[in-house]
Amino acid sequence: MPHCTTRDGVEIFYKDWGSGRPVVFIHGWPLNGDAWQDQLKAVADAGFRGIAHDRRGHGRSTPVYDGYDFDTFADDLNDLLTSLDLRDVTLVAHSMGGGELARYIGRHGTERIRSAVLLSAIPPLMLQGPDNPDGVPQEVFDGIKAGILKERSQFWKESSVGFFSADRPGSKVTEGNKDAFWYMAMAETIEGGVACVDAFAHTDFHADLKKFDVPLLVVHGDDDRIVPIDATGRRTAALVPGAVLKVYEGGSHGIALVPGDKERFNQDLIEFLKS
């Protein structure tokens, strides 16, 4: 299986499909690169090279006990891009992966980057506070960590409902979607599961967004119950000059996986790549 070895010896697994201009997909939490299978095929079929890696401690990458912070994630991504010598790259990131994308640009710049896509992503800041009243209260994050530590398998099964807004009338979410979420979540280390909560709850990406100087597409569902659009997607689009915001009415946090929404996103993505 293809792996990239990071500067500290961690083996990062990745898929590499197709040929052409590279599109690198960065998964959300608690998922792995398998979450992007539909998009990998879509971009490869459209003449691009699709690459999706598993974050350290997730999926098939080394199940390390530490390094679950955004500086480390960004440097891991840099190791992947440099080891494959990727240039003119479009970065596409979901949820927590949006923080990885933002911190990568904040730390490593855009020399290798052509454009970026943030899908249901966490920047600029998730945690609720006086300057971020639409954010998520700290007690919600505390509850997530407690659920993982109490009995993570059942916690992930229950969490799949909110992730996909599966309990909404007319939801197109399948049992397969929920099963796939559970399967990927169980392939994440328990330490990574808990440590990542602190990382994505408290990391502020305002300074990173100021360094964006490439075209940016922001896609977010207005029924995202995990990453509230008013605190994240709308603010990011307003902060980055020239950013384009596309709001999916009724869209959940799991847009890239849900029938109907994923086809719409794939089309928007391909159009953005070709623009």
Residues annotated catalytic, as ranges: 95, 224, 253
DSSP 84-148: TT--SEEEEEETHHHHHHHHHHHHH-STTEEEEEEES---S--B-BTTBTTSB-HHHHHHHHHHH
Q: What angle in degrees, to the nearest 10, is found between the helix axes of 175-186 and 138-164?
A: 140
Joined tokens for residue 273 = 């790549």
The backbone torsions φ and ψ at residue 216, rounded to the nearest 5 degrees and listed phi first, read -130, 130
Report cis status (omega within 30 of 0) of the bond before 30. Answer: yes
Secondary structure (3-state) at 198: helix
Please name which of 126, 101, 160 lies closest in space to residue 229, comparing C-alpha atoms. 126
Joined tokens for residue 73 = 């994630």
